[in-house]
A and B are shown apart, each in its own frame.
Chain A
C-alpha cells in the first residue's frame, strides 16, 4: 500500500528527492515496470534508489550490457512499448553501442540511461570515463548529458517522448554521478512537444489524391510493406487498404507478421533471400506502393535495375526516406495509420486476379525447386527449413519468433507462417549476431503469455550465450533452438558461391551446448535424426520452463532463392 501511495505521489506531488531517486520516479511516471541493466560505479546511486522500488520496477540483471540492451530491444519489439536499459559509465556504456546502433537502424524505441563520472571529472580521463555522448551521437535519435539533479525529470520526459514518437529510435541520457547524488524538487510532467522536432509530418491531401489516382489506374500495382505498419499500429488500416484495392502485397524482413502469412493477398517476402515472385515481379509492376519501408539494399539489389518501369508511391513518416534510395513520384508523408485511412477512402474497390496469378505461378516454381526440397529433403540430414516448419506447426503459428543473423534467420523468416502482429523479432538492418538470445529473453518477459521461440545459429549463440544465466535467474521460459551446422553458415555460403569455396575462418568446433545449458539449470537435448524431430520439438514446446534444443543440420546447405550482391532483383537465383 505504501508503495502504491509513493508511486501515485511520484506522478502528482512535488517531493524532495535525490537525483537518483528522481530517475526511478520518472521511470515509474512513464509506467515502466521492467528494465534491463548492469550496475557499476557511476550508476550506483540509481541502483541504490532502485532497491526501495523493486516491487514496482523490476530490474533484470543481465550478464553483459549488450545482453541488457538486446533484451530491451526484444521487449520493445514484442510489446510496442519503450525498452529501458541502464548501465554504468565507460565500458558499461560502450557495451551498449551495438544495441543502440541496432535499435537506430531498426527504429526501436529505447531509453538508455548511463552513469557518468562526476561533472568535475569530465574530460580528465577519470576511471571509467568515456565520452558516451560523442560516441553514441551518430547512432541515437537524441542524446543528452545531465549534470544537475534538477534536470533529470525533464530530460527523461523528453527522452521517452522522443524515443517513441514519430519514427521511433534509441535515446541516451548520460547522468553524472553528482547529479545522481544531488537534490531535486521532484515533479514530473510528461513531454508532449519539443519545439525543434516534428515527429509526424502533416498529411498532404494532394499527395493522397495523386496516389489514389495512380493506384486507381494501375494495371499491375504492387505493395511493399515494412515495419512502419507495425510501428504505426496500422495493421488493420493496411489490411483494409489492400483488400479494397486487391493489390498483392509483399513484406520486408521487418514487416513480417504485420499481415498474416496466409492472407490471400500476401505474396511473401522481399529481398536477398525473399520469395521468387515478389523479387521477379518488382520489375514488372506498373505502380509500386511502398508503405513504412526504406528500400534497404538487401531489398532492392542493384538500384539502377530496380523497378525502373514503375511509378513509385512512398508512404513514410520520415521525410528523409523519400528519394533516399529510390526515386519516388508520389511521396505520402505521415503516420501510415492516418495516411492509409485517407488513401483507402480515396481508392476504388478493385481486384487484380490475373496479376495475382502471376505471383502464384512463381510461387509454384519456387515451391517445386526450393521449398519442397527444403521441407521434404531426400537426404538423411535435417534441413533448417523442416525444423522451422515443425516448430511453426506445433506452435500453431502463434509463437513469437526471435532470430539471430545468418542462414537460420533467413530460413526461419521464410518458412514461418505468422498469424499475429509483432511475432517476428530479428536484427534486420544492422545484422547483429548475438541479438537473438537476449532479445528473446526480453520478448518473453514483456509478453509472458506468449510462446517465445529463439532460433539461433551455432555462431551467434556463442556471441551472447552468457545470457543463459539471465534466463536461468529470471525463469523466463524461452525456448531455444540452435540450428547447428558447425559453420558460420551464411559466410560459408558466400565463400562457396563467390569465393571458390575458400572456407576462410568459417568452420567452428563447437562445445556441447546441452551441457552448457545444463550448467545453467536449463533442460536441453540434441538431435540429429529426422525421426526425432517432431517429438523433440513437442517436448521443447510442452516444457514449462526454458529449454534448449540443438538440432544438427546439413553442414553445407544453402539458402535460396538468392539475389546475389549487385544483381537485379529479377535476377534472383533458385539454386
Chain B
C-alpha cells in the first residue's frame, strides 16, 4: 500500500550530493513529492527532507541505498504521524478583488493566513500548514483573482526524542571521528 513517507537524510555539505541523492530515486523510477535541503543543527552537516509516496518495502530499500552513498551520514524514514511537518504556500492576489470580496478578514480569521506585502495592484499572502490546508486555501482563492502562487517542500522534525538523540549522537560521533585530511 502506498503512503507518504518523510525521508530525512543527514549528509556532508558537498557539491553534487543532491544529484547523487536524487539518482537513487530516479533509477527506481520514483517521483519525489517534495524535497527540501538546508543546513542542520550540526554545523557542516546538511539536512534533506524528502517526501515520497510509495510502499514501506520500497522506502526501506531507498533509505539503505541512500545511506550507502559515501557522503551520507544517516538516512531515516517516518510516517506522517511520527513527525511534525509544515509546508508554506505564497499567493499573489489582486488587491481590487480582495477588497471587493472582503477577503482580508476571512483569510486572517478563518484561514489563518498572513499578509506579507500589499502593493498597488496585488498582495502577497502566506499560508503555512499541511499540504491539504494550503491546498484548501488555494481552492478558496482561485475564484478571486489569484494571480500566482508557489509552494515549498515539506520541512519536518522527527517526534520520537530518543531517535533524534541517537541521530545527533551519530552525527556528532561522525564529526569527531573526522579524518586527518585537509579536506573531507
Evaluate contact between B27 and A138: CB separation under 8 angstroms: yes
Q: How far is the CA of A189 from the CA of B180 in the complex (A)?
A: 8
Evaluate contact between B60 and A196: CB separation under 8 angstroms: no
Q: How far is the CA of A175 from the CA of B4 in the complex (A)?
A: 41
Contact partners of A141 in chain B: CB under 8 A? 70
B12 CB, min distance to chain A CBs, angstroms: 5
Closest to B16 in A: A133
Evaluate contact between A137 and B184: CB separation under 8 angstroms: no
> Interface stretch among B33-41, B120-128, B157-165, B170-178?
B170-178
Evaluate contact between A196 and B68: CB separation under 8 angstroms: no
Closest to A142 in B: B70
> Interface stretch among A223-231, A245-253, A317-325?
A317-325
Contact partners of B71 in chain A: CB under 8 A? 142, 196-197
Q: How far is the CA of A142 from the CA of B180 in the complex (A)?
A: 19
Contact A192/B27 with A137-B20, A142-B70, A142-B71 known, Cβ cut-off 8 Å = no
> Is residue A565 contacting chain B, with contact meaning CB distance below 8 A?
no
Contact partners of B183 in chain A: CB under 8 A? 151, 154-155
Evaluate contact between B68 and A319: CB separation under 8 angstroms: yes
> Is residue B73 contacting chain A, with contact meaning CB distance below 8 A?
yes
Contact string against A for B residues 1-26, beta-carbon threshold 8 Å, 1 for contact and 0 otherwise: 00000000001100110011001001
Contact A320/B178 with A138-B23, A138-B27, A145-B15 known, Cβ cut-off 8 Å = no
Give the dominant DSSP class at B's interface.
Answer: mixed
Evaluate contact between A196 and B72: CB separation under 8 angstroms: yes
> Is residue A193 contacting chain B, with contact meaning CB distance below 8 A?
yes
Contact A195/B174 with A134-B19, A138-B27, A151-B183 known, Cβ cut-off 8 Å = yes
Contact partners of B180 in chain A: CB under 8 A? 189, 192-193
Give the dominant DSSP class at A's interface.
Answer: mixed
A327 CB, min distance to chain B CBs, angstroms: 10
Chain A residues within 8 Å of chain B by Cβ, number:
29
> Is residue B181 contacting chain A, with contact meaning CB distance below 8 A?
yes
A103 CB, min distance to chain B CBs, angstroms: 15
Evaluate contact between A194 and B184: CB separation under 8 angstroms: yes
> Is residue B84 contacting chain A, with contact meaning CB distance below 8 A?
no
> Is residue B64 contacting chain A, with contact meaning CB distance below 8 A?
yes
Contact partners of A191 in chain B: CB under 8 A? 179, 181
Closest to B71 in A: A196
Contact partners of A193 in chain B: CB under 8 A? 177-180
Contact partners of A150 in chain B: CB under 8 A? 182
A105 CB, min distance to chain B CBs, angstroms: 12
Contacts A138-B23, A193-B180, A194-B184 aside, 8 further interface pairs with beta carbons under 8 A come to A138-B26, A145-B16, A191-B181, A194-B179, A318-B68, A319-B67, A320-B68, A323-B60
Enumerate chain B interface residues (CB-CB to A < 8 A).
11-12, 15-16, 19-20, 23, 26-27, 60-61, 64-65, 67-68, 70-73, 174-175, 177-184
Q: What are 30 A-to-B residue pairs whose CB atoms are below 8 Å?
A: A133-B16, A134-B16, A134-B19, A137-B20, A138-B20, A138-B23, A138-B26, A138-B27, A145-B15, A151-B183, A154-B183, A158-B181, A158-B184, A162-B70, A191-B179, A193-B177, A193-B178, A193-B179, A195-B73, A195-B178, A195-B179, A196-B72, A196-B73, A197-B70, A197-B71, A320-B61, A320-B65, A320-B67, A322-B64, A323-B61
